[in-house]
Amino acid sequence: MSQNTRDRILNRLKKAGTMTPDMHVELPPLPHAMMDSDELVQSFILNVTAAGAEVHHVEQGQDMSNILTEIIKDTELTRFIVNDDTVFKHLELDIWAAKQGLALIRASEFNDRRSYTDAVFDVGTAGFTTVDYAVAESGTLVIGHHQGHARLISLAPMIHIVLVRTDQIVPVYDDVIAQGLFNDEGPSQVTWITGPSMTADIQATPFKGMHGPKRLVVLLRK
C-alpha cells in the first residue's frame, strides 16, 4: 500500500512540477560571525543567561568543587550521572563526589536499560554532562547522543549541570554543520539546548522545570 501511495504522491507532485523560478535573497551575516573569541564568550554568556541558565566560571578543580557543593546544598541529591568524558577524572569529580557521599556513575556503566531508566528518573539524580559545541548567537548547547553520551541524563533530572570549554563556543549554528555531528556514522540524535525546560501554558504564567530540568547550570572553563 505504502509503495503505491508513495509512487502516486511523488508522480503527482513531479507532474505538477515547478511553476515559478527559484527566489534568491542575500543576507548580511549575523554579528557573531565577526566577533573575536572574547566577544563570542561574552555573547554566549549573555544569551544563555537570558534563556534562564546560570553561568559560573571555573578556573580549576577547586572552583568546580565549591560551585557543586553550593548546588547540592539543601537538595536531596544522592547521585550524579555523567557522560563518558575524561575531563571528569581530570577535574577529580569522583574524589569530590566521594567526599560528599554522592555516587558518580557513567550512563554507559549501567548493565541494562531498566536500571538506567530507574536511576535517571530518580528524584535524587542530577545530570552532569559535557557538550560538543556551544553557540554564541543564542546561548545554545549542542550535544550529539551516542553510546558515550545518553539522551536522558540531560533531560530527566531536575538539575542539569554542563561543562563548557570556551574554545567549544562557535559563532552561529551553521558552524556546527561541518563538524561531523551530521555524518552518516555520527550520533543518532543531536540536541540543541537553550535554557531549562519551561512553559507558560496556564494563564500565561511562565515557570521552569515543566518536564525537563528546572535548573540548567553552565560551568564555563578555559
- Per CB under 8 A, contacts with another protein among 41-70 are 47, 51
Q: Which of 96-109 are b and which e, b meaning 16 or more Cβ less than 10 Å from the residue's Cβ?
A: bbeebebebbbbee
State yes or no: residue 173 binds another protein (CB under 8 A).
Answer: yes
For the CB of residue 17, give the shortest distance to another protein in the complex, in Å. 8
State yes or no: residue 13 binds another protein (CB under 8 A).
Answer: yes
Tell me which residues in 132-171 interact with another protein (CB under 8 A). 137-140, 145-147, 150-152, 155-156
> In the set 171, 198, 220, 221, which binds another protein (CB under 8 A)?
198
Task: Report how far residue 132's alpha carbon sits from residue 151's, in angstroms, rounded to the nearest whole number.
Answer: 13
State yes or no: residue 200 binds another protein (CB under 8 A).
Answer: yes
> In the set 37, 70, 121, 180, which binds another protein (CB under 8 A)?
121
For the CB of residue 82, give the shortest distance to another protein in the complex, in Å. 13
State yes or no: residue 26 binds another protein (CB under 8 A).
Answer: yes
Smaller CB separation from another protein, 41 or 144: 144
* Rg (alpha carbons) of the chain, rounded to whole number: 21
* Count of chain residues binding another protein (CB under 8 A): 79
State yes or no: residue 117 binds another protein (CB under 8 A).
Answer: yes
Enumerate residues 6+ apart whose C-beta is below 8 A from 38: none
State yes or no: residue 110 binds another protein (CB under 8 A).
Answer: yes
